[in-house]
Structure 1
């Protein structure tokens, strides 16, 4: 989910939970959520082949080449009284974070679903006051890791048992990252590296006049972390112990950066322009004056992005040359703010109509030439990032900012 869309969601729900709510009561985690544990969990079946984290891979490529859907229809929907995050999953299981219900004092709930829509378990996160970070969970080595109001939490993916929780100075509002037995979580001012038992690895502090609203990425053996205001991209070795030293920093000035996408040694970093950098050295390969509304995805040959003008754009990874551009969200008060999902034949996005009672569309265009392949109306007016798993595409949508409808989220499963 993009930074913009998440803030729209929180406003639509009337929730708090974005900055400065951590540590408001000592001992908040209690005995149910210890800070560290001695044991780890085994990976779920199919975890390596699933969609286990934001953008699917540690480089967030957003590409599922094994998935092909030509004429989809909804095969099931699950409704939630509040909002929901984009899901992750593996094998026959999906995981989603949902907003606190009207009668709970928690800070969101992680729900495990079967891929037929049935519920396996749910686990309320610690916290109070109805705040909600809204960030997607991830699945890494048999545990679900999720950011929340004032911390990051580990849950056994098989049965929903709490494993550990780590309080942080501020809320974790973006998806965490799992890679080779480590978990990386950002509070906006600090990037934390923890092991899967909750133990400390290292922490990187952004410094004055910098703030991150992005998910870190891993590529070429480095963690890449971006900031806004005085925008920068920094590179840190994942296995660092103690005080991390940046290997390189890219700070051209005049822009803030979003979540990097890393593939084949190149990091594609959205800002006022799209920057293609060497993930190993930070050297510039090319820049293109196009602003991505919600990050980029890639199949290795092309980079795909949405624009605030409602266009879906494909650029060559070699030099940034525009291959095609199509208008997906024409019309007044209609926007395109989801990160593209790339499948075997299609690039899939969902539109957004804040302030209107009109439903949005999930649209698929041919990734070769941008011609429209299919379009399906959705039960909501704000769309989030879709994911693909097995033979299905999962689309989260929300009714919000409307006059005649109550807010609420729905996860829609599309299949041929």
Structure 2
């Protein structure tokens, strides 16, 4: 058995306090190192804490871990059992409370971390355990507790062997993300547990009940993608009834098949489940967010174009025919009247900002002062109408999707046509470039793939117009038809999958971010789609029809609708986190710039909002 020695700093502090010395200084942010210490006085950890071996918190002692602290365990396996020895042992109180912006992190110190690098947070006969907004990874057992009461809320438990081991304990797990653990997500025996509003996915067993003689509550969770979503132990013959949860399917029989009970082993008990018909919004870590106006810039017309940002300047095109260069505080650096409606996103190319207007002219302006460098005009066509495609800079070229169905590649320095290819009339969507191929959606339903030199690689015909920009996927591209058909192709043009959303879709483009596809629809919905097979993860209603492309950043989806509401939705939970009402429809994609959220609206205003961050207090 390891012998613990009193930690020198704690002992010195205790002597000082007994002698009537001044209060100890505030906790240092320097790296603290521990190897076999016993904490016998209340201790606060901040900054980075390195544990080589074990640290023990004695009875009647409180360890408080502040937001942003990293508790890092050295990988060592002196007993040769295949698991690391690093352990935080708690017999007193453990209060680890981070925030969404500054979680408390428990992880391996190894440069190549893996599950089992350190052993566990071990709590026995503890007075209190609170883990809130923590990230715990690389361990063998994560939280191993006996004869203890505790709460685990708003935590991410990922990449361990087991996400917990509880015996004769009383614990609440609420609003956590528990995923990709090699063994069990939540593992307990003879314990009173409350498991509510969690996302538990891609573990071996989502929830494992070894045996039990106490009440449990399991409801309001999204349990899916585990080998077994719920499993009872091999020698437990008791029956279990649990509440309503989402089991990854709307089919009750298929949901029941994700449970391991006497259907597969007649010697064990029966699990009776209630299958929720759809994803349960609000599950997973919570996110308290407040949107407050920082500044606003009134203009003379609709602001449907997505803004473009370069360095310390944002460029916003408007229906009043003006391109504006805006400073971070909302003041104008310059504005240029181009004489025609502008509703397409500009492109930034070196020291130029390039934009096209409704009179079919492309303007290249100096980013510093708005002076014209060159212009290019393409011919009219019967398809000339509102909504032009945004421009894209590729390898010294500016790609211009034209109403007449031609994709023009212009030399960025001179405006000279380098090549042009017919891609299906009209072109209302911005192309996409993955480093080797250019993908241009056409208003006639044609998706055209081109080389950077303009050679046509392939074309695929879809049954309805393509009005939105493509989404680049790992190893492919996805496009969305006006009728709501989402189709993915590989770079050679082979169809990978399709998903019919059965909802009208206009100019809001699908976005691949944070491992998923997020798709807005004019029916007033936002979808999260698995990019590997097109399976629906969740669908949530928006306040109104969506014509805007969403922004996905930091686990949040920002999207505006035609009712004028800018909404923020949790990317994992589908929970509505915050909203802000503009004076008219929002059809531009928001941008995060210098810590603020900016978007244009049909109220003629460029809005800048501050984001209050951090978890619920």
Partner of 1:342: 592
Partner of 2:367: 115
Q: Which of 455, 467, 478 is equivalent to 1:199?
A: 455
Deviations 1:99-141 (A, max 9, x none): 32xxxxxxx1221111121211112224468946622211011
Partner of 1:180: 435
The unaligned stretches of length 5 or more in structure 1 are 1-7, 10-47, 52-67, 101-107, 354-359, 371-416
Q: Which of 480, 485, 498 is equivalent to 1:226?
A: 480
Deviations 1:3-41 (A, max 9, x none): xxxxx99xxxxxxxxxxxxxxxxxxxxxxxxxxxxxxxx
Per the alignment, in what secondary structure is the counterpart of residue 203 of structure 1? strand
Q: Does 1:99 align with 2:348?
A: no
Map of 1:288-367 to 2, 5 A cutoff?
A: 288-290=540-542, 291-329=545-583, 334-353=584-603, 360-367=604-611
TM-score (norm. length: structure 1): 0.63
Please provide the CA RMSD for this pair: 2.7
8 Å contact from structure 1 (residues 175, 215) kept in 2: yes
Per the alignment, in what secondary structure is the counterpart of residue 211 of structure 1? coil
Shift of the alpha carbon at 1:345? 1.4
Using the alignment, how far apart are the partners of 1:234 and 1:299 within structure 2? Answer: 24
TM-score (norm. length: structure 2): 0.43
Shift of the alpha carbon at 1:70? 5.0
Shift of the alpha carbon at 1:88? 1.2
Partner of 2:415: 160
Q: Which of 81, 93, 111 is equivalent to 2:339?
A: 81
8 Å contact from structure 1 (residues 222, 280) kept in 2: no
Per the alignment, in what secondary structure is the counterpart of residue 158 of structure 1? coil
Using the alignment, how far apart are the partners of 1:320 and 1:153 within structure 2? Answer: 39
Using the alignment, how far apart are the partners of 1:322 and 1:169 within structure 2? Answer: 38
Partner of 1:245: 494
Specify whether residues 50 and 125 from structure 1 end up closer, same or farther in structure 2 by C-alpha distance, changes over 3 A only. farther
8 Å contact from structure 1 (residues 312, 327) kept in 2: yes
Partner of 1:265: 515
Q: Which of 463, 467, 481 is equivalent to 1:213?
A: 467
Map of 1:375-394 to 2, 5 A cutoff?
A: none
Deviations 1:157-198 (A, max 9, x none): 111111011124422121112221321112121010011111
Using the alignment, how far apart are the partners of 1:150 and 1:307 within structure 2? Answer: 28
Shift of the alpha carbon at 1:69? 6.2
Using the alignment, how far apart are the partners of 2:571 and 2:384 within structure 1? Answer: 40
Using the alignment, how far apart are the partners of 2:438 and 2:599 within structure 1? Answer: 28
The structure richer in strand per residue is: 2
Moved over 6 A (4+): 48-51
Using the alignment, how far apart are the partners of 1:345 and 1:214 within structure 2? Answer: 28
Partner of 2:531: 279
Using the alignment, how far apart are the partners of 2:446 and 2:430 within structure 1? Answer: 14
Q: Does 1:71 align with 2:325?
A: no
Partner of 2:388: 134
Using the alignment, how far apart are the partners of 2:371 and 2:533 within structure 1? Answer: 46
Farther off after superposition, 166-175 or 266-275: 166-175
Using the alignment, how far apart are the partners of 1:282 and 1:344 within structure 2? Answer: 34
Using the alignment, how far apart are the partners of 2:381 and 2:501 within structure 1? Answer: 41
Q: Whose Rg is larger?
A: 2
8 Å contact from structure 1 (residues 219, 265) kept in 2: no
8 Å contact from structure 2 (residues 514, 555) kept in 1: no
